[in-house]
Structure 1
């Protein structure tokens, strides 16, 4: 299955700024409105992440907890949108915003690739809310997730949006400790392909070359690769992928 025709001209057409064009040293924090604005002004596509608030809204934020990036503590989904917006980012004047507000800010100037975060627990509330938001809009937006259950659900929830699987070669480090052996086996071997049926793949650059992205490209699925930071990463991406998701430099 190849990407929808509506996405074929833009999905991999330009480099993708990972969590926006951020630079903490300059007070531009990842996934903030400023990082998105800077990327859009530079003409880069934007990758961002969404989490669920306590009141069921999709907010632009990467981590499941607030501690690393903000003056708050604890889980993102323990706080309402209003409570999240009241927090300060460390080293920035930006505030956490909803996906709707972020899309308004970008205004369709560049494509947006939204990663739906998941705890792999079958909870699809964030997926449904994200689909509701993008279905009401006309901007170029793609959706992706590490969780094949999310990608599978998007087939019905947002059928007109390109959907992708974020993936890597192995799921052995600490981030994946909560996965069951069955989940880890399915992800490692891409056994979900018949049900997730992605339109594109976002593959870990450190795991290139690899059979999975090679087969995806063979069958016409675009391969984006993350997170490209070094000359070696760029060389691997140029050989084995169709576009980069980058940070720390300007391509």
Structure 2
């Protein structure tokens, strides 16, 4: 299985979490305004994908609309056209599609694309989001990589888009619903057991847990280690002792010289 490496730009340029958002300035997570701000500043961009009811990849983090819009209920219950018409809170923007975002970025900065879990238990119930994402990314010329908390998603991407770097988003798997997972599944995710099976070349790990032995082991074997989510220069300094790059929000990360 091919194991393409991260582009140099995604190892060097700080990655703006859900784009360079600042709600007080009218730049909501994963919005066009936040994406434009990241491009203008020169940051790499992390975006999240959810699936619409009619099979389109939409750029939105949460499973549900409630937190970030005036609407409510699951994203997957609405068509792409309906989602485009739902305004992000405190903006005049609708929810963008992946196709729109790829056109907006057009290779000017690198993209780190996270496919959100569609199985609801990080199991094998995936495929539609991966297929529509792969069709769009196949013709994209800029630097990019894909990742997911669900290894089954990355196994699909390895089959569909083998030349695009892929990684696993990882953490301590405690709280936020992780404790409800079957013990065997949780243990496998915690051990990052699928890293080789999916042909990953990087992990994006929770920054407070970077010294986990498995993360150190993967780094020693040549994996690139990214981390999330850094919220200050002090946290960044600490995280970079282990991670080659950061995903950040809430402060202006410094862009290293090439």
Aligned counterpart, 2:128: 125
TM-score for the superposition, normalised by structure 1: 0.94
Change (3 A) 1:102 1:8: closer
Distance 1:9 1:3 in 2: 15
Match of 2:152 among 143, 149, 158: 149
Instruction: Show structure 1 runs of 5+ residues with no match.
Output: none
Shift of 1:3: 5.6
Aligned counterpart, 1:11: 10
**Secondary structure, in 3 states, of the residue corresponding to 1:194?**
coil
* Conserved 8 A contact 2:58-2:96: yes
Distance 2:136 2:13 in 1: 24
Distance 1:137 1:56 in 2: 19
Aligned counterpart, 1:241: 243
> What whole-Å deviation, never above 9, does each CA across 1:36-77 have from its counterpart, x for those lacking one?
110011000000000000000000000000000001110000
Aligned counterpart, 1:98: 97
Change (3 A) 1:142 1:237: same
Distance 1:30 1:78 in 2: 21
> What whole-Å deviation, never above 9, does each CA across 1:133-163 have from its counterpart, x for those lacking one?
1012212121000001111111111101000
RMSD of aligned alpha carbons? 1.6
Q: Does 1:37 align with 2:36?
A: yes
Distance 2:238 2:213 in 1: 14
Kindly report structure 1 stretches of 4+ aligned residues shifted beyond 3 Å.
Answer: none
Q: Which moved more, 1:241-250 or 1:209-218?
A: 209-218
* Conserved 8 A contact 2:3-2:199: no
Distance 1:206 1:216 in 2: 17
Between the two proteins, the alignment pairs up a number of residues equal to: 249
Distance 2:139 2:192 in 1: 31
Shift of 1:180: 2.0
Distance 2:134 2:180 in 1: 26
Q: Does 1:52 align with 2:51?
A: yes
Change (3 A) 1:178 1:132: farther
Distance 1:13 1:3 in 2: 20
Instruction: Show structure 2 runs of 5+ residues with no match.
Output: 254-258
The within-5 A match list for 1:112-191 is 112-118=111-117, 119=120, 120-121=122-123, 122-168=125-171, 170-191=172-193
* Conserved 8 A contact 1:166-1:203: yes
Q: Does 1:74 align with 2:79?
A: no
Match of 1:198 among 197, 200, 205: 200
Distance 1:2 1:209 in 2: 28
* Conserved 8 A contact 1:224-1:243: yes
